[in-house]
């Protein structure tokens, strides 16, 4: 049975309008006594009253919901970003609605469509590639002024959508540069086969470092699928033909974890025969044996910044128009693009 404000009003012996003002904490010129407020709140609690979110959305034009679409929910890389988003939105009174694109641009479209149809106040898109993010925002007519991208970028009508990214080019460059200083006979880069924006930038940094260091004859790129198992299988195969000492630069920490497992099962050791470097600095990286050297991305900070950027956009639109608009006809709010610096973390695996 759904408990309504009318039910509470009847039991409390007051008007429905009084119940509404008490429960919604609406300002009123008609004073409501402390006794009445406490009585209404107590009865509402006893009856198990829960506000109708959708009715309130229609009334106020604000759902207090933020849609978050993550490229792959199984990828541990996104966990700290999501924690940063959720903590920041919670402090601001917003709720997060989470959907996973499962690594598919088509599914990302349907996730964004679902969020739009639920009338979320804003949207944060985690991961994916630039072309799909841009196309989806345009195709679904989603207001770009209340959208923030994390890990990728988008341009609409010649203007950039607000975004938080990490300088993946530099991350790839400093990682390969570091391994190049170890004077290995061969360096392998285990690259992602399905390349998102960050993976493309990362690979370009790796290739630039190879050329700058003159390591073309000692370098090989291997395209593999995502995750630990793909790193394991790729490393098992290269172990059969590689000369040691060698080094592996993995596109992610999970891929590096698979590489280390394969090396441990062979006659080789880490890092004496094969050094392994990851990318991301997941929490588990420092607990592995050997602990994993990696390129750190400030993932929690990325989530916090994305949320603050979105909340700032709400405030900016309201201040500019005097009210919050439902359309993007006059997209002249100040967009922001933040690019954070990665950091080399050296541990036992190198």
> 216 and 202: one domain?
yes
- Per-residue confidence band for 26, with pLDDT thresholds at 50, 70 and 90: low
Q: What is the CATH number of the domain that holds 183?
A: 3.40.50.2300
pLDDT at 253: 96
Range of the domain at 96: 60-166+300-338
Domain count, the chain: 3
Q: Is residue 322's pLDDT more than 60?
A: no
Residue 1 has pLDDT above 70, yes or no: no
Residue 40, pLDDT > 70, answer: yes
**Are 227 and 255 members of one domain?**
yes
- CA separation for the pair 164, 149 (Å, rounded): 6
What's the confidence (pLDDT) of residue 157?
A: 75
Give 74's pLDDT tier (boundaries 50, 70, 90).
confident
Q: Does any domain span residue 28?
A: yes
> What is the pLDDT averaged over residues 210-237?
95
Same domain, 184 and 238: yes
Tokens of 61: 């034009």
> Who wins on pLDDT, 332 or 305?
305
Q: Is 43 inside any structural domain?
A: yes
288 shares its domain with 190: yes
CATH number, domain of 41, equals 1.10.260.40
The predicted model gives 167-186 an average pLDDT of: 96
| Same domain, residue pair 135 and 244 | no
């Amino acid at each position: 049975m759904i408990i309504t404000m009318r039910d509470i009003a009847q039991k409390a012996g007051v008007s429905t309008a009084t119940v509404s003002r008490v429960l919604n904490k609406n300002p009123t010129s008609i004073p409501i006594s402390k006794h009445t407020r406490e009585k209404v709140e107590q009865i509402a609690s006893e009856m198990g009253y829960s506000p109708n979110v959708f009715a309130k959305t229609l009334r106020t034009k604000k759902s207090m919901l933020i849609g978050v679409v993550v490229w792959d929910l199984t990828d541990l890389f996104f966990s700290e970003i999501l924690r940063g988003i959720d903590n920041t939105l919670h402090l601001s009174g917003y709720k997060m609605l989470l959907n996973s694109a499962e690594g598919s641009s088509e599914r990302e479209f349907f996730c964004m469509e679902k969020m739009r149809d639920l009338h979320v106040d804003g949207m944060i898109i985690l991961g994916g590639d630039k072309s799909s993010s841009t196309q989806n925002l345009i195709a679904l007519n989603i207001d770009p002024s209340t959208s923030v991208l994390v890990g990728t970028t988008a341009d609409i009508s010649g203007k950039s959508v607000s975004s938080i990214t990490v300088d993946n080019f530099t991350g790839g460059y400093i990682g390969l540069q570091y391994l190049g200083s170890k004077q290995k006979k061969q360096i392998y880069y285990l690259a992602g086969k399905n390349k998102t924006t960050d993976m493309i930038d990362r690979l370009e940094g790796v290739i630039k470092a190879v050329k700058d260091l003159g390591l073309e004859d000692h370098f090989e790129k291997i395209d593999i699928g995502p995750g630990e198992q793909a790193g394991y299988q790729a490393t098992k195969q290269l172990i059969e033909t590689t000369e040691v000492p060698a080094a592996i630069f993995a596109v992610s920490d999970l891929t590096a974890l698979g590489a280390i497992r394969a090396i441990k099962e062979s006659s080789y050791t880490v890092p004496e025969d094969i050094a392994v470097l990851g990318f991301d600095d997941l929490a588990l990286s420092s607990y592995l044996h050997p602990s994993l050297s990696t390129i750190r991305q400030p993932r929690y900070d990325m989530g916090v910044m994305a949320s603050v950027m979105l909340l700032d956009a709400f405030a900016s639109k309201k201040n500019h128009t005097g009210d919050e608009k439902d359309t993007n006809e006059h997209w002249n709010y100040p967009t922001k693009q933040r690019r954070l610096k990665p950091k080399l973390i050296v541990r036992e695996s190198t």
